Amino acid sequence: MRKFLVVMDDSPEFLNALRFAAIRAKKTGGGVEILGIIPPEEFQHWIGVGDVMRAEARERIEEHFKVFSKWMIDKEGVEPELVIREGEKADAVLEQISEDKEVGVLVLGACIGASPGPLVTQLVNKLGGDMTVPITVVPGAMTKEAIIAVS
């Protein structure tokens, strides 16, 4: 089964990317994989404190996933899968694509404004030609209706 990989964060752009991926997965019989990333700065403290912070970050990601998972199941009938990685965002995305051969499309949300955001910039501008899967960039200014229409 082909999976649409979406990187989870707290941005409104993530919601656009998630909506697009869910609708495309439903229409094509694919799946959605949500990647939660714990940045390295969250746990570079004393060992005990770092372990607690890592556990808290993992718990936050899992709680956010529950909300988005329920929405996807209720609205689109697609049950997403959660993967959690630690490290720099771009590296974590590339590692996930490399390790999960079912990932067929990376779906990213772009920020509104002059820059599409650091992850989109890094993966598309700097590494785009070296990617092993297509990248779909969903503009942050797209409305729900527009996303539904093109999905």
CA-CA-CA-CA torsion for 137, 90, 26, 14, nearest 10 degrees? -60
What topology is assigned to 3-150 in CATH?
A: Rossmann fold (3.40.50)
For residue 138, what are the β-bridge partners? 109
Q: What does the pLDDT look like over 77-130, one tens digit per residue?
A: 999 999 999 999 999 999 999 999 999 999 999 998 878 888 888 888 767 678
Map out the domains of the chain as residue ranges.
3-150
Q: What does the pLDDT look like over 47-92, one tens digit per residue?
A: 666 677 888 889 999 999 999 999 999 999 999 999 999 999 999 9
- Indicate if the alpha-carbon torsion angle 124, 14, 52, 46 is positive or negative: positive
- What is the model's pTM? 0.90
